[in-house]
Amino acid sequence: MFFAGEHTAANARKLIHEATQKGFVLIQTKEVSMRPEDVKRVFHNNADGLTELITKGPVVALELNGDGVVEACRKISSEVFNGTKLFVSENRNSSSADVDNFFNFADMQMGL
């Protein structure tokens, strides 16, 4: 997930390109605004430090799929986006819950 900034859309496109070049599949993307109270509900234990970031504008989230995708995205994020504020699931075990929490939240927001 990329937080609002000057290059948010370009960074999302770059991550999609890097990941698909490695054979991973893009499942879905969403851009949605979040309020501070949404952060704890969506990110649970990973919410620390994210509240300030979501107040700057909409976030762009990507769901990618494939064996080793979390590890690959963490590596890409540190190599390509060093210094850019973004959220990548900690590991494969937490990634399903992260995806469900965010995209269910985003779907509810879009329905309002």
Instruction: Please report, for the chain, how many H helices and E strands are present, in that order.
Output: 5, 2
Which burial class, exposed, middle or buried, applies to 15 when counting CB atoms under 10 A from its CB (0-12, 13-18, 19+)? buried
Q: How far apart are CA 27 and CA 24, in angstroms?
A: 9
- Sort strands 25-32 and 59-65 into parallel, antiparallel or unpaired: antiparallel
Backbone angles phi, psi at 33, to 5 degrees: -85, 145
Residue 82: the pLDDT is: 86
pLDDT higher than 80, residue 112: no
| Selected residue with higher pLDDT from 101 and 17 | 17
